[in-house]
Amino acid sequence: MYLGIDIGTQGVKALLYDADAARIAAVQQAPLELISEPDGTREQLASWWVQGLLQCLQGFAPAERARVRALAVSGQQHGCVALDAAGAVLAPVKLWCDTATEVECEEITAAFGGRERCLAELGNPILPGYTASKIRWLKKHRPQAYARLHTVLLPHDYINFYLTGERVAECGDASGTGLFDVRRRRWHAGILQAVDAERDLADTLPPLAAPGSVIGQLGAQAARELGLPPGIPVGTGGGDNMMAAIGTGNVSAGALTVSLGTSGTLFACADEAVVDEQGEMAAFCSSSGSWLPLVCTMNCTVSTELTRGLLNVAVADLDARVDAVPPGAQGVVTLPFFNGERTPNLPRGKGCLFGLDPGNYRADNLLRSAMEAAVYGLRAGLDRLVQRGCAPAAVRLTGGGARSAAWRQMVADIFALPVTLQHGDEGAALGAALQAMWTLQGGDLQALVDEHLALDTSRACAPDPDRTQLYHGLYQDYLRHVGAVSGLYA
């Protein structure tokens, strides 16, 4: 067995992969709370992640846990876990979806010499979701914690620390901090000075482990708590998008993955850093030695879940309700920026509804429009990838939204590309388990994923030519609405 752990925003997931049978043997999940404030604060306690992990592992049979030979961790990107010298967490963890650090982003960018220099030297701008501004925010708003700051870890790094006692990072997740030179795969000293000119933050950043390496062995205490064999290897792991790339077989140039989760992500695999001069596409590294150009929207299933909850529609009924409405939702247009937005960069953005009249102000139109809006936002990311030379032939779909037939067909129609899914689609958790296997066995990662991932042809779908043509115009209309409100929330 190989264990893949995924520390998400809404919950913790643990997956056991049986390599001999080439199948997922068991999956356990535990929900997580979210601290939300009107100023854009989105936080969690790191202890909640450990509690969720313990709950998940207790759901596996002891005999299954005893067979685990290696494990790796996937985690939500960009969070700022501040540790003191003894390893205690100093403050609640500001998450990827936290937009309360907009001022700090502007201050860091100005201190470094502007957005263009950020793109030239880092490959990415400093955005509110990234870790850099959270460190500066910590200094301002929690000075006592900042004074004791010894190490800055990302969420998956922190779980690795709990498992092994090692404070280590890796290039994939590190490239989403705003502190990293993605071209040279190293921390950037100059941006650290821009975050805090009064302190050398270099000592707070952990060393970087090589892709596919062992960062340490499972410690005795964690092994007892989790019911796992002590001393088994723990791989580098990575950010959830990097692990989802492995879990969908996206480890060679030309592949495209779209993840429909709380956030929406769209990413490809590239043999070199892909830097977007407009800064709308993140120039990330992968966790397998290549690069992962990525577009993230902060509101994907958020939009449909909020609308579904408001209208008291059961999850089981969502597809039928959406399919009862024609493309375009009879003129209803949703801008789903409920959590602010990263792409486009509108951290103060709000959810908006347009085009309402007495004839179309109906629940099913609101549901379909919310779903369409999430896909439109990701389609804008595809446009950026294509402009940068990526020409995918199909979409590999993952995430919770991928379980919906209505979502799958809508992605195919709006992207004008066929949609494929893996059997037992578990995205990031499966990717972590496969990376753990790669860590132990070595060899070619592409060959490994080809051997262990199979397409689920029963859930594949092709774009409908008539709907695709109709959606071309509807998508342009959506972009015009985004342009119209951007000035309100800039």
CA distance 403 to 407: 8
3-state secondary structure of 361: coil
Query: Are the C-beta atoms of 188 and 121 separated by less than 8 Å?
Result: yes
CA distance 411 to 402: 10
3-state secondary structure of 96: coil
Q: Within 13 Å, how many C-alpha atoms sit on residue 489's CB side?
A: 23
CA distance 249 to 215: 23
Does residue 444 have an active-site annotation? no
CA distance 10 to 307: 17
Task: Compute the Cα dihedral for 109, 114, 119, 121 and give only its sign.
Answer: negative
Query: Are the C-beta atoms of 291 and 281 separated by less than 8 Å?
Result: no
DSSP code at position 403: G
Catalytic residue among 98, 157, 240, 319: 240
Residue for token pair 């043997």: 25
CA distance 54 to 230: 15
Closest C-alpha to 282, from 297, 262, 271: 297
Q: Which residues of 407-424 are buried (b: 16+ CB within 10 A; e: fewer)?
A: bbbbbbbbbbbebbbbee
CA distance 33 to 409: 31
Residue 391's Cβ-count burial label (10 Å; 0-12, 13-18, 19+) is exposed
C-alpha separations of 214 from 119, 398, 437, 452 in Å: 32, 27, 11, 21
Axis crossing angle, helix 445-452 with helix 428-441, rounded to the nearest 10: 130
CA distance 138 to 145: 7
Q: Which residues are part of the catalytic machinery?
A: 240
